[in-house]
Amino acid sequence: MTAPTTRTLGRDDWTTPWEVFEPIHHVARFTGDACATDSRAARCAPFISPEEDALITPWGQLGERVWCNPPYGREIGQWFGRVVDQVAAGRVRLVCMLTFANTDTQYWRDHVALSRHCHAVVFLRPRVRFALPGDDQTRAGAPKGSALIVYRSEPRTGRWPVHSYADYRTVDWVASSGLADRLRSSPGQYYLGLCAHLRIHPDAPGAQTRIVSRLGGAVGQSTVSGWAHGRTASAASRDEVEAVTGYRFGGAS
């Protein structure tokens, strides 16, 4: 169920092509797939199967950063609502959703334009050619354009989501479209993540100096201080902090 329904492409298990997913995953480091028919269709593990039904099953089991390419049939509006519900409740921190760019629909208005948890929309070109599970060579072109939509547990500050366009055939499309910035945590979340995984209280005397010392020079004092001044309510995940700093926590967390 990671792709369009029988009404659009003739079957219900077309999968996200790797050339679209992998550049996003490289930045986002997804911890789970909300919607996959089986392990061949899943783009990361764990995943929620049709039998488990992601419209009912809580997504917390997927970790903090979730990929979602739902079926594009009559229930698509419920999927948008489900994504918003899961991030708003804090069950997951981030969801990146791939779907048709049906901007004229009620669900797009309610769950994209007006949802405070929707941070960004990236319209893709050319039309995505979806693949069969386990068979990346068999492709079917989508009947309309697609978009990537980024949801986060923290509400956005602007009135509208940030909109951009990307040609996913280009090497740097995730960065040049601004998608990478929307998928990453904020500097303040990196600071809280460092504190959490190094077991240092963020407000303790000398906390920043201790962090720099523990990291062994992987991140400088000025960087850590900048992160500390921009802190937010939630901490970045261990994987994210390791990716940004190059430091491996080992048993420290």
pLDDT at res. 44: 92
Residues 139 and 236 in one domain: no
Residue 64 lies in a domain: yes
**Domain span including residue 75:** 6-183
Residues 159 and 220 in one domain: no
Residue with tokens 């061949």: 40
Residues 236 and 118 in one domain: no
| Helix and strand counts by DSSP (H, E) for the chain | 10, 8
pLDDT at res. 230: 67
Chain segment 178-189, per-residue pLDDT in tens: 998 888 876 777
Helix axes 238-245, 187-198, angle to 10 degrees: 110
Q: Which strand ranges, in their side-by-side order, compose the sheet holding 162-167?
A: 32-33, 65-68, 94-100, 146-152, 118-125, 162-167
Domain boundary at 165, 183, 201, which? 183
The Cα 15–Cα 37 span in angstroms is 9
Instruction: Copy the structure tokens of residue 27.
Output: 């930045």
Residue 229 lies in a domain: yes
The Cα 42–Cα 40 span in angstroms is 6
**How many domains are contained in the chain?**
2
Residues 11 and 92 in one domain: yes
Domain boundary at 183, 203, 235, which? 183
Amino acid identity at 76: I
Within 8 A by CB and 6+ apart from 59, the residues are: 32, 34, 48, 66, 86, 91, 92
Residues 231 and 158 in one domain: no
Residues 199 and 240 in one domain: yes
Residues 134 and 201 in one domain: no
Chain segment 194-228, per-residue pLDDT in tens: 898 899 999 999 999 999 999 887 888 888 888 88
Burial class (CB in 10 A: 0-12, 13-18, 19+), 164: middle
pLDDT at 8 over 60: no
CB count in 10 Å sphere of residue 10: 10
**Model confidence at 127, in pLDDT bands (50, 70, 90)?**
very high
Chain segment 38-47, per-residue pLDDT in tens: 888 889 999 9
pLDDT at 146 over 70: yes
How does DSSP assign 152-218, residue by residue?
ESSPPSSSS-EEEEEETTSTTHHHHTTHHHHHSPPHHHHHHHHHHHHT--TTSTTHHHHHHHHHTTS
The Cα 55–Cα 164 span in angstroms is 29
